[in-house]
Amino acid sequence: MPKSSCYIDQKSVIKDGSFKRSCDSKTIQRFRCKNCGKRFSGATLKLEIYQKKRRINPQLFKLLSSGVSMRRSAQIFGVHRITIKRKLKYLALKSRLNQEALLKKLELSKVTNMQFDDLITKENSKLKPLSVTLAVDANRRFILGAEVSQIPAFGHLSEMAKIKYGPRKCHHKKGINKLFKKIVNTIATTAIVGSDEHRNYREFIKHYFPRADYYQFKSERSSIAGQGELKKVKFDPLFAINHTCAMLRANVNRLIRKTWCTTKDPARLKDHLDIFIDYFNSEIAYKNRELTPIKWSS
Ligand SMILES: [Zn+2]
């Protein structure tokens, strides 16, 4: 709609010619407001406005959710890598809108079995780790949300990191807060909630889900094929969240272990995750038989 103070109702808008959009050969209707004379078209309010390579959007959405790097996508489509960079932001925006709609739907059919965990990755260097807090619906396998937060380097790297990059603040609790705030309305009050034994978790569960049945499980040794997330035990009570983390590592290119693709900007990692979440929720969760209901044992 045109940027004017004029209130546009259906009566004051008339058709005003059309144009052929060159990039996808579609004919687009143009409109005019009879009161103020401003003109606009069927494309004005779309997220894709001014895009010149819209044809590649659906395929790019799938590739970026299937382990293909941004640079290789640019090569496959024969477009500039900066086009892909811009499209990452656009696809992320679109995916976030879809995810918001899904969460709204879930408020009517609440999650009764929620699992959450953190996945460690890095920004450029292992000296600058990032934590991705992830929550899933363990029964229907929807990914409810993910938040990226910076954490200080740990273990034998912490000393070196301090020397090279100075102190690094921990925003992990902020990230958990942001995630739980977003999904709190989709979780049933008496839901079962599961996680590993991370020391930060319990206070958040108490605050956001006071009546939930909260279980913490010891972390198990991982199997080699599962990207460090699938566990080497016959029965893993946290299978849903661990399997989702493994899916993330395998399909979001920059999360693969020992990859040479890295995140340069945590905001772009968040974008990429949001794209994958939308793809996973719309294409894989619920549709894939292997992924549907996982029984909880106590
Ligand atoms: Zn007007």
Torsion of CA 99, 103, 108, 113, to 10 degrees: 120
Mean pLDDT for 103-109 is 90
* Closest among 144, 125, 128, 111 to 241, alpha carbons compared: 144
Strands, sheet with 26-33, edge to edge from the N-terminal-most edge strand? 13-21, 26-33, 39-41
CA gap 167, 153 in Å, rounded: 9
What's the gap in Å between 25 CA and the centre of ligand 1? 29
What's the gap in Å between 24 CA and the centre of ligand 1? 29
What's the gap in Å between 5 CA and the centre of ligand 1? 8
pLDDT interval class at 297 (50, 70, 90): very low
Hey, how many other C-beta atoms are within 10 angstroms of the C-beta on 84?
24
User: In this predicted structure, what is the pLDDT of residue 24?
Assistant: 87
Question: Which amino acid is located at 139 in the chain?
Answer: N
CA gap 257, 260 in Å, rounded: 9
Q: Is the pTM of this model over 0.95?
A: no
Q: What are phi and psi of 134, to 5 degrees?
A: -130, 135
Between 235 and 160, the higher pLDDT residue: 160
Q: What are phi and psi of 104, to 5 degrees?
A: -60, -45
Residue 214 has pLDDT above 80, yes or no: yes
User: In this predicted structure, what is the pLDDT of residue 127?
Assistant: 92
What's the gap in Å between 9 CA and the centre of ligand 1? 9
Residue 1 has pLDDT above 70, yes or no: no
CA gap 236, 215 in Å, rounded: 13
What's the gap in Å between 2 CA and the centre of ligand 1? 8
* Closest among 34, 29, 46 to 9, alpha carbons compared: 34
What's the gap in Å between 45 CA and the centre of ligand 1? 15
Cβ(238)–Cβ(244) below 8 Å: no
Cβ(217)–Cβ(239) below 8 Å: no
Residue 223 has pLDDT above 80, yes or no: no
Q: Is 174 helix (H, G, I), strand (E, B) or coil?
A: helix
What's the gap in Å between 40 CA and the centre of ligand 1? 10
Strands (E), the chain: 13-21, 26-33, 39-41, 111-123, 125-137, 143-150, 187-196, 213-217
pLDDT interval class at 169 (50, 70, 90): very high
pLDDT tens digits for range 34-57 = 988 889 998 888 999 889 899 999
pLDDT tens digits for range 5-29 = 677 677 889 999 999 998 888 999 9
CA gap 261, 2 in Å, rounded: 42
In this structure, which residues have their CB less than 5 angstroms from ion ligand 1? 6, 33, 35-36
